[in-house]
Structures are given as C-alpha cells and as structure tokens.
Amino acid sequence: METIISPSILAADFNILGEQIQEVEKSGAKYLHIDVMDGIFVPSISFGMPVITSVRKHTKLFFDVHLMIVEPIRYIEEFVKAGADMITFHLEAAEGHVEETLDKIHALGCKAGLSVKPATPVSALEPYVMKTDMILVMTVEPGFGGQKYIETSTEKIRAVRQLLERHGLKTDIEVDGGITVDNAGIVKEAGANVLVAGSTVFQGNIAERVQKLLQA
C-alpha cells in the first residue's frame, strides 16, 4: 500500500499557517491532518470550522479532519461544508450512533474514518469495518501534540490489519501520535499506511521531514 503522510497543523505556527501549508503542499505529503478538539471529549480546545473554511480556499491538499468532540453527528454537515474530504470521529464519542454517523458522512459525499483511543479494544471496531474508509489507531492519548508513541500500539495496528484482512478489506489504517522518523518504519511494517505527524514535521524543515517519513 502507498504510504501517505498527513501533517497535523496542530503543531504549526498559526501566525504563518498559510505559508506552512504551502510548504506541506510542496513536500510530498498528500493529506493535511486537522485536529478539532472540544474541551469535553479531550481536555484541550483547538479550532473549528472558520479555520478550515479559510485554509480550504488556498490549498488542494486532502483535508483529513480528526474530530475529538462528543456526539460528532451534530456537526457533520458543517465540517463537510467547511471543506473536509474525510471526517474521522471517535467510536467512544458516538456510542449508539456510530453507524448513523458513518452513513451521514457518506450521504454528504465525504469519506468516513473511525478512531479508537489506546484503551479501546480492536474488537469494538468489528461491527463497523464494512462501512469505514479508514481506521485511525491513536498511538497516544488524544488531546495534545508532542507526546511519546505508546509502544503497545504496534501490536494493535497489526491486529487491526488482521481484522480487516479477515473481512477481505484493504482499508487504510492511520496512526496518530508520537510518530517520528525512528518509528515510522515500525508502524508501516505493522500495517499502517497513513501517518499523521505534527511535531516531527513542523519542528524542522517540513519537506525534509516529510521525505524522511516517506522513506522510513
């Protein structure tokens, strides 16, 4: 599977966000990872639709929107309108509405991803894999950038890949949190093909870091 890098703008310098997104566009990364936090599902608050709408006008990158908000179904239409190409929400935040949320995203012509926190077992994903375009395995506790990769995630990625194979699916697996040039090869080997990277990409030369992650 082709490896895709999805730089997380949570780690960008918002004072020069536009310029940094232009650099991402030239770097070989195809996605832009956009972390939306509500202060309830996760302790932190990041940004919402106005930021997405504004950057959408200036880039053709694929907008990989990661919703860390409770009851995401309430806001699907607004995120599609703002320019999301894929909306990934948390299984833990949508209890009782997971299928309905996936259907709603698809009905609006958007791709749908489903994410699990580190403590949520892989088996919880099984009822939804047929309807999901991407599984996001959180490799840190969601909420903040710059954390350390949780080592047990490697086995979890492998287990998700096996689950998908059992269903005859070649669904994308995204990993998010603590991805570095040193562990990128490990997560790819375990079965991940979409790599989110915040600090690794933005705390350095953007193009150089993206290329290193691609080559790892």
Q: Name the residue with the smallest CB distance to ligand DX5.
A: 198
∠ at Cα 98 (165, 171), nearest 5°?
A: 25
Q: From the list ligand DX5, Zn ion, none, which binds 139 (C-beta under 5 to 8 Å, kind-based)?
A: none
Site for ligand DX5 in 165-194 (CB under 6 A): 176-179
- Residue 96 neighbours by CB distance under 10 Å: 7
Residues 59, 32: contact at Cβ < 8 Å? Answer: yes
- Nearer to ligand DX5 by Cβ, of 132 and 153: the residue is 153
**Distance (Å, whole) CA 110 – CA 79:** 10
Site for ligand DX5 in 89-108 (CB under 6 A): none
Report how many residues bind Zn ion under the rule CB under 5 A: 3
Query: Quick one: which of 43, 121, 146, 204 contacts ligand DX5 (CB under 6 A)?
Result: 146
Query: Quick one: which of 29, 30, 33, 36 contacts ligand DX5 (CB under 6 A)?
Result: 33
Helix/strand/coil (H, E, C) string of 45-73? ECCCHHHHHHHHCCCCCEEEEEEECCCHH
Site for ligand DX5 in 56-75 (CB under 6 A): 66
**Distance (Å, whole) CA 105 – CA 200:** 30
Residue 38 annotated among the catalytic residues of the structure: no
Q: From the list Zn ion, ligand DX5, none, which binds 10 (C-beta under 5 to 8 Å, kind-based)?
A: ligand DX5
Q: From the list Zn ion, ligand DX5, none, which binds 143 (C-beta under 5 to 8 Å, kind-based)?
A: ligand DX5
Report in angstroms how near the CB of residue 58 gets to ligand DX5 at its nearest. Answer: 21
Q: From the list Zn ion, ligand DX5, none, which binds 83 (C-beta under 5 to 8 Å, kind-based)?
A: none
Residue 176 annotated among the catalytic residues of the structure: yes
Residues facing 194 on adjacent strands:
4, 174
On the 0-12 / 13-18 / 19+ scale of CB atoms within 10 A, 163 is: middle
Residues 179, 195: contact at Cβ < 8 Å? Answer: yes
- Nearer to Zn ion by Cβ, of 72 and 168: the residue is 72
In the set 38, 103, 176, 182, the catalytic residue is 176
What amino acid positions are annotated as catalytic residues?
Answer: 35, 176
Chain residues that interact with ligand DX5, rule: CB under 6 A: 8, 10-11, 33, 35, 66, 140, 142-147, 176-179, 196-200
